[in-house]
Structure 1
Amino acid sequence: MDLELDEGARRLTLLERDHAVLKRSYEEQLARMVQLERRLDAHMAVHARERDDVPSNDHGAHHVIAREYDAFVEQKVQGMVRTVGTNVYGSAPYGVPQLPWLMSRISAVLFGPDEPEAATVLAALGRKRLDPLASQAARLCGTALDLRRRSAQTGLPCQWDFELVPGALLDEEWQQAWPSCDRSLPAQFVIAPAYIVAEQVYSLQRVYTGLSIPV
């Protein structure tokens, strides 16, 4: 029995190691892709300025920003919440899972009307200013500020849209249900805002749906 346990533990260790390697490789490839997209975007912008018959590449820049925003929400914001886990002061409304509820609170800080600060992110999680997660919260704010700054620099009207009517059905043109939710059920709250540029949707609003509206 001890030999079987040792063998099982060894296999689990190998699987965890392989997972870590694959995760690191994925993150490196994603970073390279983002760098290439930024270089291509800059090259096309210069080319557009040199030729009057080539349309502005501002919209192309927003496509890049939208892809980075999607990855940011799905990986970094969600990763922060998973790190916190259930060790949170206060809790989500009855019947609402903690993860989407906390993601909603963080998103409101990162892409709301005010510039995000690490202390405000920590406060949304019920953590103190000097919490060990302060550096991670600061990195989230830095990335969000970078996305917001680059978006504003294009000169096109853009917004991070949190608008939602609780109890209404989703509008598939600019909203999508969170993966664990039923898209046919009414909206409850926004997990992450839509990214809209010049009335064009570049990233759909992530919405938590359900039968009852949290209070």
Structure 2
Amino acid sequence: MDLELDAGARRLTVLEREHRVLQQAYTQMEGRLQDVERRLDALLAARAEARGDVPSNAHSTHHVIAREYDALVEQKVQGLARAAASSVAAAPPGAATRMLWLMGRICSVLFGQDEPEGKAVLAAVGKSRLDPLASQASRLSSCALDLRQRSAQTGLPAHWDFELMPGEPLDEEWQEAWPSCDTTLPGQFVIAPAYLVAEQVFSRQRVCTGLSIPG
């Protein structure tokens, strides 16, 4: 039995090491992909501007920001919200909706009026500064701040729009239901705000639909 436990422990150690290596490779690949996308967008924008058939290079920059914003919400914001929700000893009924609610609270800190901070992100999900999620919250706020600063530097008016009338049908032009939500039901709360540039929709608002709002 001891030999089996030792072998299992060694195997677990190897798997953990392989998992860390894969995570690092994924992070590096994601960074390289974003860099390639930026350079490609810049190249396409320069060629298009030479032909005079696009508004400006600033619009291309905002398209890149919108894609990075979508990835931030779908991966990092959702990951933090899921971790915060799963750390609750007794998850309430409708835990999936609770996670979406936490995503909305996180996004309200990251893309609201105030400059995002890790401690505010933690407070939004009911965690203290000493919580194990602190480093994750800090990295997330830094990423959001970078997007906001790059957006402001383009010179075009842009903002993240949280406006929603609970109980009203979604406006497909600038809103969409979260994939796990029923698209036939009215909107209840914002999960992630829309990204608008000069009143044009670069990323639609993600909304939780339903008949009640979780507390």
* Contact persistence 1:88–1:125 (CA under 8 A): no
Distance 1:155 1:91, change over 3 A: farther
- 2:30 is matched with 30
Amino acid at match of 1:141: S
Structure 1: gaps spanning 5 or more residues: none
Range with bigger deviation, 126-135 or 164-173: 126-135
Give 1:1-215 correspondences, 5 Å limit: 25-43=25-43, 53=52, 55=54, 56-88=56-88, 95=94, 97-214=97-214
Q: Percent identity?
A: 61
Amino acid at match of 2:175: Q
Cα distance in 2 between the residues matched to 1:174 and 1:32:
30
* Contact persistence 1:167–1:213 (CA under 8 A): no
* Contact persistence 1:90–1:126 (CA under 8 A): no
**Cα distance, 1:39 vs. partner?**
2.4
Question: Alignment length, in residue pairs?
Answer: 207
Range with bigger deviation, 158-167 or 129-138: 129-138
**Cα distance, 1:43 vs. partner?**
4.7
**Cα distance, 1:91 vs. partner?**
8.0
Structure 2: gaps spanning 5 or more residues: none
* Contact persistence 1:88–1:126 (CA under 8 A): no
**Cα distance, 1:36 vs. partner?**
1.1
**Cα distance, 1:134 vs. partner?**
1.5
* SS in structure 1 of the partner of residue 165 of structure 2: coil
* SS in structure 2 of the partner of residue 85 of structure 1: helix
Cα distance in 1 between the residues matched to 2:123 and 2:205:
24
**Cα distance, 1:23 vs. partner?**
5.9
Amino acid at match of 2:117: E
* Contact persistence 2:101–2:214 (CA under 8 A): no
**Cα distance, 1:165 vs. partner?**
0.3
Cα distance in 1 between the residues matched to 2:15 and 2:184:
38
**Cα distance, 1:188 vs. partner?**
0.5
TM-score (norm 1): 0.81
Distance 1:138 1:20, change over 3 A: closer
* SS in structure 1 of the partner of residue 155 of structure 2: coil
**Cα distance, 1:32 vs. partner?**
1.5
Cα distance in 2 between the residues matched to 1:25 and 1:90:
35
Distance 1:70 1:166, change over 3 A: same
Cα distance in 1 between the residues matched to 2:72 and 2:173:
22
* Contact persistence 1:41–1:60 (CA under 8 A): yes
**Cα distance, 1:148 vs. partner?**
0.4
